[in-house]
């Protein structure tokens, strides 16, 4: 029997979650399968990411998307370090401590603010 890719449950039937957001989702380190749909309804030849999950895990995914949408955009105030990294496609300023925890012994490039 096919196991849920999230909770590994095998008793229930599976649902396929399809994602396409024009971002390399492999960076998330999730067990996505890649699918390319070639129909007039979907974007021809575009890569979609799929997960095979049980109904309960699909419901958790739907709740997470609903929460994300309803929370609105988060504001990341400047910490003043001038150190920026890409996280899931967004530029985020991180502290010196965060940088050196991720990159021991490597000096960061800093960007000065216009203030």
Residue-wise pLDDT tens digits, 27-60: 888 888 876 654 444 555 667 888 999 999 999 9
How much is the pLDDT for 90?
82
The pLDDT tens digits for 85-102 are 988 778 889 999 999 999
Domain residue ranges of the chain, discontinuous segments joined by +: 15-71, 73-104
* Rama region for 9: left / alpha / beta (φ>0; ψ in -120 to 50; rest): beta
- Write b or e for each residue in 63-89: b if 16 or more Cβ atoms lie within 10 A of its Cβ, otherwise e: eeeeeeeeeeeeeeeeeebebbeeeee
Q: Does this model's pTM top 0.85?
A: no
Question: Residue 72: pLDDT band by 50, 70, 90 thresholds?
Answer: confident
């Amino acid at each position: 029997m096919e196991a849920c890719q999230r909770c590994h449950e095998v008793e229930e039937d599976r649902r396929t979650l399809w994602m396409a957001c024009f971002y390399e989702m492999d960076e998330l380190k999730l067990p996505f399968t890649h699918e390319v749909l070639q129909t007039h309804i979907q974007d021809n030849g575009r890569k979609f990411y799929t997960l095979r999950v049980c109904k309960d895990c699909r419901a958790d995914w739907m709740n997470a998307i609903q929460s994300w949408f309803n929370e609105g955009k988060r504001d990341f105030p400047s910490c003043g370090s001038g150190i920026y990294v890409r996280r899931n496609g967004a530029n985020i300023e991180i502290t010196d401590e965060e940088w050196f925890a991720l990159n021991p012994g490597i000096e960061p490039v800093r960007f000065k603010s216009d203030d």
